[in-house]
Amino acid sequence: MAGVSQPASGAAVVVRLGNAVDAEVAARLHAGLITEGFLSALGPRFLRRLYRRVALSDDSFLLVAEGPDPVGDGSGIGGGPAAGFLAGALDLGALYRRFVLHDGVAAAVGSLPELLRSWRRAWETLRHGTSGGGEEEAGPRVAELLSIAVDPAWQGRQVGTLLVQGFLDELARRGAGGAQVVVGADNGPAIALYRRCGFVPGQSFALHRGTVSLLMRRPVGAGPQDMGPGAQPDGAGSA
Ligand SMILES: CC(C)(COP(=O)(O)OP(=O)(O)OC[C@H]1O[C@@H](n2cnc3c(N)ncnc32)[C@H](O)[C@@H]1OP(=O)(O)O)[C@@H](O)C(=O)NCCC(=O)NCCS
């Protein structure tokens, strides 16, 4: 799978499937840019293990967006040409169970103080993953957009749109019937991105005590024409 964005300036951004090595970049972008949820608090080492498992599992995947390094020296958060990443899972509960089984001991030992400090939020996150977003589901398989982050040097240049389009294409290829994402109710840029890509806000709920999260959903298999006005991911700005 590979999507290419080729803006008029000629600075192409390519979205490709990530592998275990890309877990490093995903962890760095996540730790540096995603402040909601508790995963960032567990640090890049924990995140690297998690994203490695995402890349290695059959029913989850990483997407990496790459372009010419806009800061010229590889010092962007992701390092090198990494402009952004996205993690998706067709079965979030299965992914978390596999992570606990294969990586749980090492991840827990490496992040013990952080886990002890935030055990409640860890449990709440696991519970969300294994409960299908708080709703009992019958019908088509609903996949989850776990996380997305775009290096600040690339934000506002349609890289996020290109990643979400890549996510939806990958879900269609794998036969998922729908997609959902849980986002902090106060994360305006992310909610605007998901809306633009055809996600519709549903229920609000407290994933973690004292926070408000929004569940957003859309069907899979609909074409890019259903991603909303101006949503064609056909350019990454003028880098
Ligand atoms: C959310 C995020 C991924 C968007 O990436 P991006 O590459 O800047 O997004 P795009 O350029 O494709 O923008 C798509 C749409 O999102 C909305 N959007 C993006 N950034 C926005 C901002 N700062 N304020 C308001 N809306 C914004 C706009 O509707 C935009 O469409 P437009 O360009 O037609 O106005 C990026 O801001 C980010 O990495 N944020 C930090 C990490 C995060 O919060 N992740 C989500 C939780 S997991």
Nearest Cα neighbor of 64 from 73, 75, 74, 54 is 54
| Residue 151's pLDDT band (cuts 50, 70, 90) | very high
Domains (range + CATH), the chain: 2-226 (3.40.630.30)
Pairing, β 178-184 against β 142-150: parallel
**C-beta of 153 in contact with ligand 1 (< 6 A):** no
Question: What is the per-residue pLDDT for 96?
Answer: 87
Q: How remote is the CA of residue 146 from the centroid of ligand 1, in Å?
A: 16
Q: Could you tell me if the CB of 149 is within 6 A of ligand 1? A: yes
Q: What is the pLDDT of residues 153-195, one digit of tens each?
A: 999 999 999 999 999 999 999 999 999 999 999 999 999 999 9
**Residue 42, token pair as written in the block:** 């567990």
CA 155 – ligand 1 centroid, Å: 7
Mean residue pLDDT across the chain: 80
The closest alpha carbon to 156, from 224, 226, 211, 237, belongs to: 237
How does 140-161 read in b/e, with b if 16+ C-beta sit within 10 Å?
ebbbbbbbbbbbebbbebbbbb
CB 183 near ligand 1, within 6 Å: yes
What's the confidence (pLDDT) of residue 160?
A: 97
pTM of the model: 0.83
Q: 136: CA distance to ligand 1 center in Å?
A: 30
Query: Model confidence over 98-146: pLDDT tens digits?
Result: 988 888 777 777 777 776 676 666 667 767 766 654 444 556 789 999 9
Q: What number is the average pLDDT over the span 200-227? A: 80
Six token digits for residue 17: 């499937």
Q: Whose CA is nearest to atom 34 of ligand 1?
A: 230
Asked if residue 161 lies in contact with residue 196, where contact means CB atoms within 8 angstroms, the answer is yes
Give percent of the chain with pLDDT exceeding 90: 51
SS3 content of the chain, % helix, strand, coil (to 5): 40, 20, 35
Tens of pLDDT along 65-90?
Answer: 998 755 445 545 555 678 999 999 99
